[in-house]
A = this chain, B = another copy of it.
Amino acid sequence: MLTTHPFDDDKLREECGVFGIFANTQAAAITALGLHALQHRGQEAAGIVSFDGNRFHLQHTMGLVGDHFSSEAVIAKLKGGQAIGHVRYATTGDTTIRNVQPLYADFEFGGFALAHNGNLTNAQTLRRQLVRRGCLFQSTTDTEVIVHLMAIARGGSPVDRLIEAVRQVEGAFSLVALTSDAVIGVRDPLGVRPLVLGKLGDTHILTSETCALDIVGADFIRDVEPGEMVVLDKDGVHSMRPFQPQNRRFCIFEYIYFARPDSVMEGTSVYQARQRIGRELAREAGVPADVVVPVPDSGVPAALGYAMEAGVPFDLGIIRNHYVGRTFIEPTDQIRHLGVKLKHNANRAMIEGKRVVLVDDSIVRGTTSKKIVEMVRAAGAAEVHMRISSPPTSHPCFYGIDTPEQSKLLAHRLSVDEMRDFIKADSLAFISLDGLYRAMGEPKRDPSNIRYCDACFTGDYPIALTDNLDSPPVEANAVRIRA
C-alpha cells in the first residue's frame, strides 16, 4: 500500500532492481515474480535472460513486468534453470529498447548477461578510452563499459574477467550476472545499493530486496556484504572479496522512501525505520493539532509514528485514486490545472475545521507539496503544518537515483522558511540529520565515521565523481527508434 509512488512527478526515483536464480526448473517464472515485487524500483522497462544449458534466451520489454512477463508463452521461451532479470527507470539518455537490461554479449568463452543497480561515476572516462581502442558501444548505458572491460581482459574465466572489470570501475553498483555455469552477484566496496542472498529449496537467489524473496516464498539468508562477490554454481555458494576493504556507506534514502516498507535492509525493517523517523520528527518538531494526515501513499508509516508519539489522531485525510496511470493526461488545456486532483482528493469530513499535520517523506521540487497544501486548505483545514521525514534534499545523487539538476531542488534554492512560504503551509519542518541517524539507531551523525551515504542531504560524496571532474558528459551521437 505504501510501497510506491508510481506516477508522482515530484519524487526521486530509484533506477533499478535486480534478480538472479540458480538453479531452478522454474527459473524464468520465479525471476518474473521477483521483478514484479521490485517494480517500485523501475517501471520503465524490464528484461530477463535465461540459459538452458545450450543457448541463452533474452526478453526485453518497455513497460511493466506484468504487461509482458505474465504471459505463459513468453515465460516458456525463457528456457532453462538459471536466469537473471532487471527492472529499470532510466535517468539519462535514450529510453529505448537497446538500453534495457540485462545486457547480453557473446564472448570468446560464450554468452554473458549483466544486470546493474546503481551508477558508475567513471563510465564516461572509461568509455572514451575504450572507443579509442576500437570498442563499439551498442547502448548508452554506463553498464556497458563493464562488458567491454571484460572483453579486453587478459582472459581467463568469466569470473576472472568480471573481477578485472569491476576493479576498474568507480561508483555504486549491485550487479547480478549470468554465465553458462553460474549466477554471480557483486556489490561495490561501500555497499551503496542493496543486494541480498536468499534460498528457495535447494536454489539460491540474489536480489535487491527481501520483498522479492517473500513473493516467491524464499528464505532470506543474509545481505551480500559491501565489496563481496558471490558466485552461485553447481557446487553451491562461493564468496570472494575482490576489493580493498572500505567503510560501508549504505544509501539512507532507501529507508526513507525507495525500498518497500515490508523489506528488511541491513538488518533493519524499512517500515519500522520510517515509523521511528516519524516519532523522532514529532519529538523534534511537534505542533498542536487535531489530526495527523499522511500524504499517500509513502507517508503512512512516518505519519503513524508521528501520531503515536504526539498523541494526535491519525486519519486518511487525503484519498488516493488508484486508477491513475501514466496515460491519464488531462485532455484539454483549460482543465489542466486540476493536476493533483486526478490522483488525490481531500477527505473533507476528516479535515474541515481541523488543525492538520501533513506528513510526507521528502520535498524535491515542491510543486506537489504546494498543491496538496492548497487542496487541504480548500477542504476547510483550520491550519496546515507540513512535516517531512527526511532532511532537506539539497544535492543531486550520482549513485543511481534520478534527481533533478541541483538548481531545480527546492532545498538548494530556498531556506526552510522560504520553502514554507512557497508551499503556503502554516509551518514546515524537516527531520534533522542527527535525528535521522538517531532513528536509525546511531547516537548521531559522526563526521569521523559516517555510517550511511547521505550525500543528497549533505553534499558529502563518498565516491569520486570522476566523470564530472574530467569533462562534460558524452552525448550519444544518435537517436534510435525501433518500431
Q: Which residues of A contact B (CB under 8 A)?
A: 1-4, 6, 25-26, 29-30, 32-33, 36-37, 39-40, 43, 49, 55-72, 74-75, 77, 97-98, 100, 104-108, 110-111, 131-132, 134-138, 147-148, 151-152, 211, 214-217, 260-262, 264, 269, 271-272, 296-297, 300-301, 304, 308, 313-316, 318-325, 327-332, 334-335, 338, 341-342, 345-350, 476-483
Residue pair B56, A478 in contact (C-beta under 8 Å): yes
Interchain CA distance A306-B36 in the complex, whole Å: 33
Residue pair B70, A323 in contact (C-beta under 8 Å): no
Residue pair A338, B71 in contact (C-beta under 8 Å): no
Residue pair A482, B151 in contact (C-beta under 8 Å): no
Q: Which 6 A-B pairs have the closest CB atoms?
A: A269-B349, A66-B328, A134-B152, A61-B483, A56-B478, A111-B477
- A331's partner among B37, B70, B147, B316 (CB-CB below 8 A) is B70
Interchain CA distance A215-B56 in the complex, whole Å: 44
Nearest B-chain residue to A475, judged by Cβ: B55
Tell me the minimal C-beta distance from A136 to chain B in angstroms. Answer: 5
Residue pair A346, B66 in contact (C-beta under 8 Å): no
Interchain CA distance A322-B76 in the complex, whole Å: 26
In the bound complex, residues from chain B placing their C-beta under 8 Å from that of A481 are 58-60, 77
8 interchain pairs (CB within 8 A)? Answer: A4-B322, A26-B334, A75-B331, A107-B136, A214-B346, A260-B345, A271-B347, A322-B322
Q: How many copies does the complex hold?
A: 4
In the bound complex, residues from chain B placing their C-beta under 8 Å from that of A108 are 131-132
- A6's partner among B215, B319, B322 (CB-CB below 8 A) is B322
In the bound complex, residues from chain B placing their C-beta under 8 Å from that of A69 are 331
Tell me the minimal C-beta distance from A416 to chain B in angstroms. Answer: 28
Residue pair B304, A315 in contact (C-beta under 8 Å): yes
Interchain CA distance A341-B37 in the complex, whole Å: 9
Residue pair B338, A217 in contact (C-beta under 8 Å): yes
Tell me the minimal C-beta distance from A338 to chain B in angstroms. Answer: 7
In the bound complex, residues from chain B placing their C-beta under 8 Å from that of A329 are 70-72
In the bound complex, residues from chain B placing their C-beta under 8 Å from that of A482 are 58-61, 97, 100, 482
Interchain CA distance A153-B270 in the complex, whole Å: 54
Nearest B-chain residue to A474, judged by Cβ: B106
In the bound complex, residues from chain B placing their C-beta under 8 Å from that of A338 are 33, 215-217
A262-B345, A349-B271 in contact; A106/B58 too (CB < 8 A)?
Answer: no
In the bound complex, residues from chain B placing their C-beta under 8 Å from that of A332 are 26, 29, 72, 75
In the bound complex, residues from chain B placing their C-beta under 8 Å from that of A135 are 134-136, 151
A331-B74, A476-B106, A483-B60 in contact; A319/B134 too (CB < 8 A)?
Answer: no
Interchain CA distance A56-B478 in the complex, whole Å: 4
A26-B334, A211-B345, A262-B348 are known; give 4 further A-B pairs, CB within 8 A. A57-B478, A59-B483, A66-B328, A104-B478
Residue pair B261, A342 in contact (C-beta under 8 Å): no
Interchain CA distance A131-B110 in the complex, whole Å: 10
Nearest B-chain residue to A320, judged by Cβ: B1
Tell me the minimal C-beta distance from A277 to chain B in angstroms. Answer: 15
Nearest B-chain residue to A296, judged by Cβ: B1
Interchain CA distance A264-B432 in the complex, whole Å: 40
In the bound complex, residues from chain B placing their C-beta under 8 Å from that of A98 are 98
In the bound complex, residues from chain B placing their C-beta under 8 Å from that of A2 are 316, 319
In the bound complex, residues from chain B placing their C-beta under 8 Å from that of A55 are 477-479
Most chain B Cβ neighbours within 10 Å, of A4, A137, A323: A323
- A323's partner among B62, B66, B335 (CB-CB below 8 A) is B66
In the bound complex, residues from chain B placing their C-beta under 8 Å from that of A67 are 325, 327
A56-B477, A323-B40, A483-B60 in contact; A151/B138 too (CB < 8 A)?
Answer: no
Interchain CA distance A41-B6 in the complex, whole Å: 22
Interchain CA distance A97-B97 in the complex, whole Å: 10
- A215's partner among B43, B211, B217, B341 (CB-CB below 8 A) is B341
In the bound complex, residues from chain B placing their C-beta under 8 Å from that of A346 are 214, 262
In the bound complex, residues from chain B placing their C-beta under 8 Å from that of A324 are 66
Interchain CA distance A134-B154 in the complex, whole Å: 10
- A148's partner among B136, B260, B320 (CB-CB below 8 A) is B136
Residue pair A322, B342 in contact (C-beta under 8 Å): no
Tell me the minimal C-beta distance from A336 to chain B in angstroms. Answer: 10
In the bound complex, residues from chain B placing their C-beta under 8 Å from that of A61 are 482-483
